[in-house]
């Protein structure tokens, strides 16, 4: 049975009206609030009721583009007239899909540059699913889409994590929407206006710190085109419990960690572990905290099994409950698979089996299932074997289970190696989350007479 517009929540109807009334709009909706159906309903109204648009481009993460948007069109009564063409695959397949007679054309973000260079830019509305994936003004996808932005009469940005690494990320995202009207045409001007150099090495600045009142001023600048909604304000969410499970290396193992941390180098007879810069060092230290490191030849150097032991303990304590384990590196996955009977979630079949309770221990990389997948029916326990610096990946990965439709308390375990970079990651994630919460509150949708 098809669902109708009558089934939309009031906050979703608010989002529909916001898109219709604002040719430039950004909906910053937490996972589970239905950003896809909200946007598609607005597209349908604009196309068939107001006759303002006739051809829409949706730019989405690969897996989401392949299935989610088309599935939503098939599910809802008010979307039955929308014809979707998925321009994902080989160049020939993309060309054919773009030439098809349709209302909506869906492409993955990795092919935005190809799309622009191909000349198929006759769209009057563009929807960017996961706007935060355009946060880098130096990326090819940003530069390509920014070049043709004036051709689009309407644009919508969708994201649950608008500033995953701080306010500095907002410039590229907002610039892509309004072409520099609110935060300035150039990133240098934005930085000079609202920030001061923070971490630096001589003339090289690694990070920027907001000036006094910069947050308030930025929020005021973008508030007319941005609204945010938090799931806990509009839907009944399950309880969530976050747990830190500490493990500790022995003296010998910690000595190796400290040597790598200090000297950026660990010598081995047939292949050294060498960090060439600060970013590489952070990566190597995260690996070592997990228990193994790739050397200069790509060989896996096993240092300890503390996290593997902790993972076994947590699984045993779960008493047969289904568990979703997030890993950081391929050697993490391989070492886990050597000790525990697991199945990696990669295909639609894997997703179906997980949701049907056929998989007890599922393994996934946060980057591969971070967006758009509904996994809440299969379990309610997450274990972070390997941590990530990315707030966006962290929040999106947790939202695969902690979302609308989850009927059980969600438990999120973080296996943290004491005295290592793991502790810094947890602190950074918490600090970024607090900063993002401030942004979301500042542009929160105020629905008079519906919600306080």
Residue 319 pLDDT level (bands cut at 50, 70, 90): confident
Six-digit token string for 123: 């769209």
Please answer whether residues 335 and 308 qualify as being in contact, where contact means their C-beta atoms are separated by less than 8 angstroms.
yes
170 in any annotated domain: yes
445 in any annotated domain: no
Task: Kindly state whether residues 288 and 412 are assigned to the same domain.
Answer: yes
448 in any annotated domain: no
Residues 318-340 have a mean pLDDT of 94
Residues 412-424 have a mean pLDDT of 95
Mean of the per-residue pLDDT values for the chain? 90
pLDDT for res 279:
86
How many C-beta neighbours within 10 Å does residue 47 have? 20
449 in any annotated domain: no
Task: Kindly state whether residues 172 and 300 are assigned to the same domain.
Answer: no
Residue 381 pLDDT level (bands cut at 50, 70, 90): very high
pLDDT for res 451:
42
Q: What is the pLDDT of residues 117-147, one digit of tens each?
A: 998 899 999 999 989 899 999 999 999 999 9
Residues 246-266 have a mean pLDDT of 93
pLDDT for res 27:
95
pLDDT for res 426:
93
Give phi and psi for 425, each to the nearest 5: -65, -45
Task: Kindly state whether residues 198 and 308 are assigned to the same domain.
Answer: no
Task: Kindly state whether residues 270 and 363 are assigned to the same domain.
Answer: yes
Q: Which has more confidence, 212 or 58?
A: 58
Own/partner contacts of 309-318, CB < 8 Å, gap of 24 or more, are: 309/247, 310/245, 310/247, 310/415, 311/336, 311/340, 311/383, 311/385, 311/415, 312/339, 312/340, 314/245, 314/383, 314/413, 314/415, 315/340, 315/361, 315/383, 318/381
Task: Kindly state whether residues 222 and 347 are assigned to the same domain.
Answer: no
Task: Kindly state whether residues 143 and 251 are assigned to the same domain.
Answer: no
Domain-terminating residue out of 171, 201, 234: 234
Give phi and psi for 279, each to the nearest 5: -65, -40
CA distance 300 to 334: 10
pLDDT for res 370:
54
Ordered strands of the 84-86 beta sheet? 84-86, 104-108, 56-60, 125-129, 154-159, 24-29, 226-229
447 in any annotated domain: no
Please answer whether residues 98 and 105 qualify as being in contact, where contact means their C-beta atoms are separated by less than 8 angstroms.
yes
- Helix H segments across 295-371? 306-317, 330-339, 348-355
pLDDT for res 60:
93
Residues 171-183 have a mean pLDDT of 96
CA distance 411 to 383: 8
Residues 407-433 have a mean pLDDT of 92
443 in any annotated domain: no
Structurally, how many domains does the chain consist of? 2
383 in any annotated domain: yes
Task: Kindly state whether residues 249 and 369 are assigned to the same domain.
Answer: yes
254 in any annotated domain: yes
Task: Kindly state whether residues 70 and 178 are assigned to the same domain.
Answer: yes
Task: Kindly state whether residues 372 and 299 are assigned to the same domain.
Answer: yes
Task: Kindly state whether residues 205 and 272 are assigned to the same domain.
Answer: no
pLDDT for res 206:
78
Task: Kindly state whether residues 22 and 155 are assigned to the same domain.
Answer: yes
Six-digit token string for 309: 């032991």
pLDDT for res 32:
73
Task: Kindly state whether residues 271 and 216 are assigned to the same domain.
Answer: no
Cα torsion 168, 232, 345, 68 to 10°: value is -80
Domain-terminating residue out of 234, 250, 267: 234
Task: Provide the domain limits for residue 39.
Answer: 5-234
Domain-terminating residue out of 200, 215, 234: 234
pLDDT for res 320:
85
Q: What is the CATH number of the domain that holds 187?
A: 3.40.50.10810
Is the CA virtual torsion 342, 345, 349, 351 positive or negative?
positive
Residues 66-86 have a mean pLDDT of 90
């Amino acid at each position: 049975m098809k669902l109708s517009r009558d089934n939309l929540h009031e906050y979703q109807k608010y989002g529909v009206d916001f898109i219709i009334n604002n040719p430039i709009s950004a909906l910053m909706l937490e996972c589970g609030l239905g950003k896809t159906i909200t946007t598609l309903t607005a597209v349908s109204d604009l196309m068939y009721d107001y006759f303002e648009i006739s051809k829409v481009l949706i730019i989405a993460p690969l897996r989401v583009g392949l299935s989610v948007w088309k599935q939503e069109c098939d599910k809802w009564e008010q979307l039955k007239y929308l014809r979707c063409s998925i321009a994902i695959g080989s160049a020939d397949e993309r060309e054919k899909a773009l030439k098809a007679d349709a209302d909506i054309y869906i492409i993955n973000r990795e092919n935005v540059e190809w799309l622009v260079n191909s000349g198929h830019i006759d769209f009057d509305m563009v929807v960017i699913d996961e706007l935060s994936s355009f946060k880098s003004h130096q990326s090819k996808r940003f530069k390509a889409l920014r070049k043709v932005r004036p051709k689009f009469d309407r644009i919508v940005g969708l994201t649950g994590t608008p500033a995953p690494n701080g306010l500095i990320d907002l410039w590229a995202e907002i610039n892509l929407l309004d072409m520099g009207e609110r935060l300035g045409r150039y990133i240098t001007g934005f930085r000079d206006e609202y920030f001061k150099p923070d971490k630096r090495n001589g003339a090289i600045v690694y990070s920027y710190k907001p000036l006094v009142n910069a947050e308030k001023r930025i929020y005021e600048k973008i508030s007319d085109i941005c609204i945010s909604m938090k799931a806990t304000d509009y839907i009944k969410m399950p309880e969530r419990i976050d747990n830190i499970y500490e493990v500790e290396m022995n003296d010998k193992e910690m000595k190796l960690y400290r040597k790598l941390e200090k000297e950026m180098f660990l010598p081995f007879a047939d292949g050294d572990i060498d960090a060439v810069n600060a970013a590489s060092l952070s990566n190597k230290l995260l690996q070592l905290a997990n228990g193994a490191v790739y050397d200069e030849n790509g060989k896996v150097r096993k240092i300890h099994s503390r996290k593997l032991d902790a993972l076994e303990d947590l699984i045993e304590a779960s008493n047969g409950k289904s568990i979703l384990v997030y890993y950081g590196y391929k050697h993490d996955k391989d070492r886990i698979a050597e000790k525990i009977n697991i199945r990696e979630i990669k295909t639609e079949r894997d997703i179906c089996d997980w949701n049907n309770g056929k998989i007890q221990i599922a393994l996934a990389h946060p980057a591969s299932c971070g967006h758009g997948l509904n996994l809440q029916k299969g379990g309610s326990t997450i274990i972070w074997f390997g941590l990530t610096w990315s707030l966006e990946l962290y929040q999106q990965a947790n939202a695969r289970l902690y979302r609308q439709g989850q009927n059980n308390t969600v438990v999120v375990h973080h296996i943290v190696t004491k005295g290592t970079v793991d502790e810094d990651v947890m602190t950074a994630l918490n600090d970024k989350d607090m900063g993002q919460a401030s942004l979301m509150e500042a542009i929160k949708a105020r629905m008079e007479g519906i919600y306080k």
